[in-house]
Amino acid sequence: RMVEVGTTNRTRIRDYRKAIGPDTGMILKVHPSNYRIEGFTEEAAYRDLAALAAEGGIPFVADVGSGLLDARTPWLDGPPPAWLSDEPAVRQTLEAGADLVLFSGDKLLGGPQAGLIVGRAGLIEEIRSHPIARAVRIGGGALAALAVTLEMYAAGRAGEIPFWKMASLPTAGLEARSLAAASTIGPAASVEQGLSLPGAGSVPGKGIPGPIVVVGSPPATAWGRLLAAAPPIVTRREPRGLVADLRTVDPGDDAHVADSIARACRS
């Protein structure tokens, strides 16, 4: 039986302490990966929850969601990006005392869709031997892809993983590509500052700042035409117009994307 602790916006360590009883098997904290609560908020720190769990002789389990391995992002040049400031990381959560940490294999990790559990060997072995473990175990193909992803982290090459490569694109190069695309699309297109949204259940409410292509007052049918293209081209509909973010486009496809948008926006 799961017992909820505290309230939606404010939960203190004393709320957890009051909720612990003789039948409590563990303390679980789940990070809200795809939504964000702002304003009058408070939450218990991982370190405090780990200490409380240790007092009661029960494990503390943290689901950090998106799979950021290390808050220091040593695979990127420079300091950690600001858009990651509120995202819990696997390494630091373990260092805070969590017995088990749960996270995704895709999203910020950049690998295949999967669920990962790391932590104390004894607890991991208990999970492995549970009858349901066989039913939810990862498939061979996903396991191979996950192994390659983790090997890139171990080799210091995580910056080459597609997600991180896109997330860390230099602004100057992205702006030059955006200007070239806007020129191809025509006079209705301009380059403005915007946000690339990581999405997929990670860093809610945050974005990566950078240049985007905006087509003002596009025909109502433009978005649908682009989705029906081969391959489909996914743009964003915003009040200022149709938005194309080249951060997620291979540079070799820039011309095709720009030509497709130009055709779709013709009346």
Question: Per the domain annotation, does 175 fall within a domain?
Answer: yes
Q: What is the pLDDT of residue 82?
A: 93
**What's the domain range around 249?**
169-264
Question: Is the same domain home to 84 and 212?
Answer: no
Question: Is the same domain home to 89 and 200?
Answer: no
Question: Is the same domain home to 105 and 189?
Answer: no
Helices (H), the chain: 13-19, 46-56, 90-95, 121-128, 132-135, 140-154, 162-167, 171-185, 222-227, 254-264
CATH number where 202 lies: 3.90.1150.180
Nearby residues of 154 by Cβ (< 8 Å), 6 or more positions away: none
In the chain (267 residues long), the average pLDDT of successive 10-residue segments reads: 90 96 96 83 95 98 96 96 94 98 96 97 97 94 98 97 96 98 97 89 88 96 94 94 96 96 90
CATH number where 105 lies: 3.40.640.10
Question: Is the same domain home to 59 and 154?
Answer: yes
Q: What is the pLDDT of residue 203?
A: 86
Pairing of strands 208-215, 115-119: unpaired
How many domains would you assign to the chain? Answer: 2
Q: What is the pLDDT of residue 142?
A: 97
Q: What is the pLDDT of residue 267?
A: 65
Long-range CB contacts for residues 5-12, cutoff 8 Å, separation at least 24: 8/37, 9/37, 9/39, 9/40, 9/41, 9/42, 10/40, 10/41, 10/42, 10/43, 11/42, 11/43, 11/44, 12/42, 12/44
The last residue of one of the domains, among 105, 129, 158, is 158
Question: Is the same domain home to 229 and 127?
Answer: no
Q: What is the pTM of this model?
A: 0.90
Q: For residue 45, how far is the Cα from the chain centroid?
A: 21
Q: What is the pLDDT of residue 251?
A: 96
Question: Per the domain annotation, does 107 fall within a domain?
Answer: yes
